[in-house]
Amino acid sequence: MYGTLGRCSTGWNELFSKSSHYIAVLLHAAVRAGGSFRAYARADCQTTRSVLRSLDEYDHLYGDAAGWPTGDDILLLCIEHRAFDDEGLNAACRAMRRPLPRLSNAQFDAKRDLDALRTAVGVRPATQANRMPSEPLEIAAAWMSNCVDY
């Protein structure tokens, strides 16, 4: 279950094949263990509503138990890790009475992928100290400073 939730589209089916009082605990463990959800692995609005119902049941059963996360804690983790599609994200934020995240899911995905590419090629964010040269002489000087004599 940990390996598929957030990584493929069948993870939600696996989660809901469990008995309802385990859904919140398994969801919490899976979301904490993994990173953000890929677009194809996010829950749709109907699944999000099922998650919200399960979290309500969980709060009624275990809400006061010491050491257990609340349903709101689990839902907040799901929002932060983008476990829901855009409609599901709207439903989850309305349920928590919180504003929508600043970035849409598409913007979040683009930023995550761009950050991953930057990390892969070793590029740091542009600052004044390491900005890209714009003038031809600056480009030539930067290239010459990186050349090594053999």
The per-residue pLDDT for range 110-146, each reduced to its tens digit, is: 888 888 888 888 766 555 444 554 555 555 555 555 5
Distances (CA, A) of 58 to 27, 47, 91, 98, 131: 12, 16, 18, 21, 51
List helix spans (H) across the chain: 11-16, 20-33, 45-62, 71-80, 86-96, 105-121, 136-146
> How far apart are the C-alpha atoms of 139 and 133, rounded to whole Å?
6
Which tops the pLDDT comparison, 127 or 46? 46
Angle between helices 20-33 and 45-62 (to 10 degrees): 110
Q: pLDDT tens for residues 1-37? A: 444 565 566 677 777 776 666 777 788 888 888 778 8
- Which amino acid is located at 21 in the chain? H
Please, what is the end-to-end C-alpha distance for the chain in angstroms?
A: 55
pTM of the model: 0.67
Task: Provide the residue ranges of all domains of the chain, joining segments of one domain with +.
Answer: 11-101, 109-146
Instruction: List the beta bridge partners of residue 5.
Output: 8
